[in-house]
Amino acid sequence: MARLENKVAVITGAASGFGEGMAKRFAEEGARVVVADLNAKGAERVAGEIGEAAIPVTADVTNASDIENMVAACMDRFGRLDVMVNNAGYSHRNGPLTEVDETIFDLITAVNMKAIYHTARLVVPIMEKQGGGSIITTASTAGLRPRPGLTWYNASKGWTITATKSMAVELAPKNIRVNCLCPVAGDTPMLATFMGEDTPEKRAQFRASIPLGRLSTPLDIANAALWLASEEAAFITGVALEVDGGRCI
């Protein structure tokens, strides 16, 4: 149980859902983890449950200064950064595209898109100096098979997939692998936003669209991220890995 031994990972949006699952799973496999989230109490809880191998950092990924502080905290505490997981995400509530407020649209682009730009500018030089690294972003099946009612969120995840592939090509000579995960909807705090409302009927409708018959779980996504971060995936870059129970088929 040491696939990430001696590696340090920064995970955004790690106070709940997929990010919490990744933080705990990475630590189980030997990683030291920066648990970053806008939710300070949640980040402290997750880091506390992990123990000495983790530190909490309060970070708003729409704020470049917060991202700088997050990376600085990682380097100050652990002295290196091997895996950057851009997991923080935001969506408008399911509904007509013309009814999404501009403020919400701007927040979607800041969290889902611009934050990747900010982290890349900081972590790429660190990884290059170390001889390599891994950047992983939580995209979505929405970027591959868009659902009605989530147009601007879908578009942001399509951007994420294209950015991943472009970064992978450009950073390959530096031995920095760049991949993204495309989860289907999971039982996380964002589920009600995706569905428009959280009812048994809506959940049944979502499950019916997934061939394996269930929603994703944080452990499903964490195990996929773990593989991409590990040396087992040393020859994998530029991939948008579908973790979706067959949804995108």
The pLDDT assigned to 198 comes to: 76
Q: Which residue has the higher pLDDT, 191 or 141?
A: 141
pLDDT recorded at residue 188: 73
pLDDT at 231: 97
* Higher-pLDDT residue of 194, 147: 147
How many Cα atoms sit within 13 Å of 198 on the Cβ side?
9
pLDDT tier, 158 (very low <50, low <70, confident <90, very high otherwise):
very high
Q: So which residues are the catalytic ones?
A: 153
The pTM of this model reads 0.95
Mean pLDDT of 14-43: 97
pLDDT at 204 exceeding the cut of 90? no
Domains in the chain, CATH or no CATH each = 8-190+217-243 (3.40.50.720)
Q: What is the mean pLDDT of residues 44-56?
A: 98
- Identity (one letter) of the amino acid at 235? F
How far apart, in whole angstroms, are the C-alpha atoms of residue 8 and residue 215? 30
Paired with 183 in beta bridges are 243
What are the beta bridge partners of residue 86? 137
Q: Please give the angle made by the CA atoms of 61, 120 and 153, to the nearest 5 degrees.
A: 50
Q: Percentage of residues in the chain with pLDDT exceeding 90?
A: 87
